[in-house]
Amino acid sequence: QLLVAHCARDTPQFHEEGAWALANLSADVRNAIPIVEAGALPVLFALVNSDSASVQLQATWVFANLSVVDELKAQIGAHDGFVEALYAGLERTAHAPDAHRALRLQTIRTLANLAVDVSNRHRVASGLQTAKDTLVRSNRDDIA
């Protein structure tokens, strides 16, 4: 709960540090449910839309890790506007510098993990073609 509170503080440095710590903890799936039970999801949903690319990266990385857990896939994917925010982030970073490569990769990882759950398939599929077209048009070597 302390890390979640750290993420919710009102400065990008706290957002990034807290989300970074949660990303590290969430790499171990045994920590996923306790992270969610500590109230992390609403804070992380907000951080995915941060103005800071590094904050977006850390929050998306947490979601990529959490979305591996079957019990969490539907809950994460059903959050209003979340899948759309992920696709918007892909479109924003398609022509961006290489610094955004990790963010694109974690976003794609999150979407792939969420799509495994039948309740998320339509939501994930609805933005897939537009995102694919945008990424292909970007002519970036790191997108295949």
- Between CA 87 and CA 74 the distance in angstroms is 18
pLDDT computed for residue 140 by the predictor? 57
What residues have CB less than 8 Å from 49, skipping those under 6 apart? 56, 85
Nearest to 125 by CA among 135, 115, 139: 115
* Residue 24 near residue 65, CB atoms below 8 Å: no
How many residues are there in the chain? Answer: 144
CB 124 within 8 A of CB 114: yes
Closest CA to 32 of 82, 59, 2, 70: 70
**Per-residue model confidence as pLDDT tens for the chain (144 residues):** 666 776 777 778 888 899 999 999 999 999 999 999 999 999 999 999 999 989 999 999 999 999 999 999 999 999 999 999 998 888 887 776 666 788 888 999 999 999 999 999 998 998 877 777 777 776 656 555
pTM greater than 0.85 (yes/no): yes
